[in-house]
Structure 1
Amino acid sequence: MKAYISVDLEGLPGVSSLTMLNPGNTQFNRPVRVLTKLLNTVVDELSNHGFETIYVADSHGLMTNIDYLELDSRAELIQGYPRPFSMVTLLDSSFDAALFIGYHSAAGTIHGILDHTMSGRTFAEIKVNGEKASEFIINSLYAGEQDVPVILLAGDEHLGGEVEKHSPWTVFVPLKKGLSRYSAIYPGIDKVTEALREGVAKAVKKLKKGEMQPLKWEKPYRVELNLRDSLIADILEALPVFKRVDAYRVEFSATTAREMLGYIELVAHVGYGIDALKNSIK
């Protein structure tokens, strides 16, 4: 059996401050240790339940957060940014299951800890088919297009409502609960690792019983991007794929999840470029 693990940082316990999010930040070493411990727990449990091939996609920020020497050697590591399809690079129909670890709530979630979707600099909110979309939803639709079910989601408790509404077969393990954008409460690490082991075991059992499903929504996807800077919309409206709605919003449609994610990533990079341009003006 073959599993794909996409691991983010903001949804992990022990992470609540901007000082923890990127290399060079004063407390970055703390979440890296948490990430490694929880990730190795998941890899070990998957291996115990018959998964012989496990890919781990390092999926936060510059996507170089995992210490290769500390990762369980039974896993293969995908690292580096930018890369095609970001958090789900190389995820295809050869995988039996996907697991998303350390995921955070969607941009615009009340009390969501470090909430954002794909790019906090670029997007204030993303909607797909009229629904507020988190990275969990967008990446699950990509996986679903490959007929790969997301069997486990672990992260901010605020994601639980999305699982219940859109993907009730997915086993959800809350790792923390956002109290505000920059504060959260989380259980002790031993309780978290135990809950993850139990969650993985339950998810694999459901998978083997045929109770998991790929997430699939009606196509074409109708995507609305609420942007943080109107200059991004100024640039995008020159491209026929994007329809300008107002100063900060553009819309587009996509016939596949692959196309949708590709355009979202394109706009994110435009946003990064504009941010860099503004910061370079002296």
Structure 2
Amino acid sequence: MKILISADMEGATGVTWPADVLPGTPQWERCRSMFTSDVNAAVLGFFDGGADAVLVNEAHWTMRNLLLEHLDDRVEMLTGRHKSLSMVEGVQHGDIDGIAFVGYHTGAGMEGVLAHTYLANSFTGVWLNGERASEGLLNARVVAEYGVPVVLITGDDLTCEDALGYAPGALKVAVKDHVSRYAAVCRTPTRTAAAIRSAAKEAAALSERHAPVSDGPFTVEMEFDAEHLSLAATVVPGVARTGERRVAYTSDTMYEGIRTFKTVTTVVSAAVEECYG
């Protein structure tokens, strides 16, 4: 049994505001250890549950945040940017039996600690076939096309609620309770590590590949906080404006859908100007 862990940071233990996750800040340096603790707890739990191998894919910002030297020696870690499937890179090779979303968060325009969808700002909402989409929902639709179930989600309490919609059977661990976008009631790393390890051990039993599932076509609609960003996004083939600050595109598969989405985010990021956005 091989498990893939997609590890994001905004939903990690103790994280509540931008400096906690912005590479290079003192707060980020401090929170890296708690992020690593969450991931390592999942690693240990999956091995407790019978996994033969665990691959961790770093999925936050520069994708160089986890402390490899603090992870269990049996694990392997994929670190660095520019990967074909970004946050779920590794799922496409046919050897993954289950995937865990560790340190996840809710989507742009939703309640939740540090809520966003891929871009920290700029998006005010993302929808997949009419349903407001978090990164968890988008990534779950991608991995389903490879027959891989989502078996574990960790993050704040609202992230766990969001996951009921895209992975109802997965184990869920809330490491903190949402108060506002930049505030939460947090549990200590010792408590959250124990909870994550226990859930991961149980989740290992759910890690069984199934027939690939694709419910395409998939229409992704995005709303921005400024008009010029919607115009910038239309440089991507297939992306068209549907409103002053909205664009949409349709893909036959979520493999194509997520790659187009990442292209849009790259273009839009380059169109954001200092101060005025």
Q: TM-score range by the shorter chain?
A: over 0.9
The answer to whether residue 194 in structure 2 is matched with residue 159 in structure 1 is: no
TM (normalized to structure 1)? 0.91
The answer to whether residue 215 in structure 2 is matched with residue 218 in structure 1 is: yes
Return the alpha-carbon distance in structure 2 between the equivalents of residues 88 and 133 of structure 1: 16
- 2:117–2:123: 8 Å Cα contact kept in structure 1? yes
Return the alpha-carbon distance in structure 1 between the equivalents of residues 269 and 236 of structure 2: 18
Match of 1:96 in 2: 97
Give 1:240 deviation, angstroms. Answer: 5.0
Percent of pairs identical after alignment? 28
Give 1:182 deviation, angstroms. Answer: 0.6
- 1:140–1:215: 8 Å Cα contact kept in structure 2? no
Comparing 112-121 with 155-164, greater Cα deviation is found at 155-164
Task: Indicate how the Cα distance of structure 1 residues 85 and 122 shifts in structure 2: closer, same or farther if over 3 A, else same.
Answer: farther
- 2:14–2:187: 8 Å Cα contact kept in structure 1? no
- 1:99-110 → structure 2 map (5 Å cutoff): 99-110=100-111
Alignment length (residue pairs): 275
**Unaligned 5+ residue runs, structure 1?**
none
- 1:115-194 → structure 2 map (5 Å cutoff): 115-194=115-194
SS of 1:50's equivalent in the other structure is coil
TM (normalized to structure 2)? 0.92
Match of 1:28 in 2: 28
Task: Indicate how the Cα distance of structure 1 residues 216 and 105 shifts in structure 2: closer, same or farther if over 3 A, else same.
Answer: farther
Return the alpha-carbon distance in structure 2 between the equivalents of residues 45 and 129 of structure 1: 35
Q: What CA deviation, in whole Å up to 9, does each residue of 1:151-181 have, x standing for no partner?
A: 0011111023323233211111111122111
Match of 2:231 in 1: 234
Q: Which residue of the other structure, out of 248, 251, 259, is the alignment partner of 2:248?
A: 251
Give 1:239 deviation, angstroms. Answer: 4.9
Q: Which amino acid aligns with 1:26?
A: P
Return the alpha-carbon distance in structure 1 between the equivalents of residues 155 and 88 of structure 2: 17
Q: Which residue of the other structure, out of 256, 261, 265, is the alignment partner of 1:264?
A: 261
**Unaligned 5+ residue runs, structure 2?**
none
Give 1:135 deviation, angstroms. Answer: 0.6
- 1:103–1:154: 8 Å Cα contact kept in structure 2? yes
Match of 1:67 in 2: 67
Match of 2:37 in 1: 37
SS of 2:199's equivalent in the other structure is helix
Q: What CA deviation, in whole Å up to 9, does each residue of 1:120-166 have, x standing for no partner?
A: 23322110011011111111111111000010011111023323233
SS of 1:69's equivalent in the other structure is helix
Return the alpha-carbon distance in structure 2 between the equivalents of residues 213 and 164 of structure 1: 19
Q: Which amino acid aligns with 1:114?
A: L
- 1:62–1:82: 8 Å Cα contact kept in structure 2? no
